[in-house]
Chains A and B, each alone.
Chain A
Amino acid sequence: MGKDCSSLSTLLDKYFDGETSQREREAVEAHLKQCPACRERLKFMSEVKEAFQRPVLEALEKETFPWLWEKIEREIRFKPRETLWESIKGWFETTPFLKKRIWIPATVVAILLILLISPTLFKKNSSHFPLPVVKYVESKTNNVMVYELENGKVTVIWLFEESEAESSPS
């Protein structure tokens, strides 16, 4: 490799990659005509490139990427819009909340909460000081008496009609 060759080395690389300007290309080609060493070097570079490129290209040819992409494209283009029910169903299929490790503890917690809250919601006025059964009682014509059994399950409102003294409660 002569003095010209070493100065053209960088240009030769650019020439090989197709990145030279018109003037640079002419200079490289003029040099290549008279320099067998540089021609040999260019040939070697081509062979190396081909050696790397060939298996990749062969592998790519064997793959069905274009066909696959077409298929995806077709699916995207023609896929009908999901109905609301399908969206909900899809959500249930993908949501992490329905995974056993989440929904089982969640259900247990919900049931416990219901059990804890329900006595206050459904309690039957079982406080120590229950509200009086008779809120008010009035009679403009007769006397009235209110009393209740000791067990607290029966309350009596007694209306005293004329000459009821005899038949009044014991």
Chain B
Amino acid sequence: MNKTILFLFLLPIIFLGFSSQEAWSQIPTRLRVIEASNVGATIDPSLKELHGQLSSLFKYTSYRLLRDERLHLRLNQTTVLPVHPGRSIEITPLKFQANTAELRVKIKRERTEILDAQVRLPPGRTVLIGGPKHGEGVVILAFSSLF
């Protein structure tokens, strides 16, 4: 009988816990900073999972992981990350609704804003932001949802 009572008490709590997950506002996100170039033909082993997609999208021969961050973003709080010399990325989660995060991403060169984007990141989705020059190649930022 006690177990039954406990179960009946816990059931709505668990249910509410799941349904209010979005309200807890911590958005686990993965950001990988990749250098893509045509110098050599090295594929970083840690990019094995992304390599198929990268090679179908770009004509670079070499992909090197510069940075791999697992971020726990908070709603309306801006996280600033230096991505490569002279450039930084600002990520601000604006919304987390229906299991989809809405992020505002700004890339700055020195103090100049060179990109301002607002993206929706549903589960299992990756958003690549590429183009800024880096050494012999370019930098590609890969945002993936971890929720």
Contacts and interface: CB of A to CB of B under 8 A. Distances in A.
Given A107-B7, A154-B125, A154-B126, 9 more contacts: A92-B5, A124-B100, A134-B118, A134-B119, A135-B102, A138-B115, A144-B115, A149-B56, A154-B53
27 contacts: A98-B4, A103-B8, A107-B7, A107-B8, A107-B11, A110-B11, A123-B99, A125-B98, A133-B121, A135-B102, A138-B116, A139-B116, A142-B114, A149-B53, A149-B56, A154-B57, A154-B128, A155-B127, A155-B128, A156-B127, A156-B128, A157-B128, A161-B114, A161-B133, A164-B131, A169-B57, A169-B58
Contacts of B56: 149
Nearest to B2: A92
Contacts of B11: 107, 110
A155 B127 CA distance: 5
A170 B58 contact: yes
A155 B8 contact: no
Interface of A: 92, 98, 103, 107, 110, 114, 118, 121-125, 130-142, 144, 149, 153-162, 164, 167-170
Contact of B99 (A124, A157, A164): A124
Question: Which range holds the interface residue count of chain B?
Answer: 35 or more
Contacts of A149: 53, 56-57
Contacts of B31: none
Nearest to B147: A124
B131 A136 contact: no
A3 B109 CA distance: 138
A93 to B, nearest CB: 9
A162 B107 CA distance: 16
B8 A158 contact: no
B99 A133 contact: no
A133 B121 CA distance: 7
Residue from the set B60, B99, B124, B127 with the largest chain A CB neighbour count within 10 Å? B127
A164 B138 contact: yes
Interface in B87-118: 98-100, 102, 107, 109, 112-118
B96 to A, nearest CB: 13
A122 B21 CA distance: 10
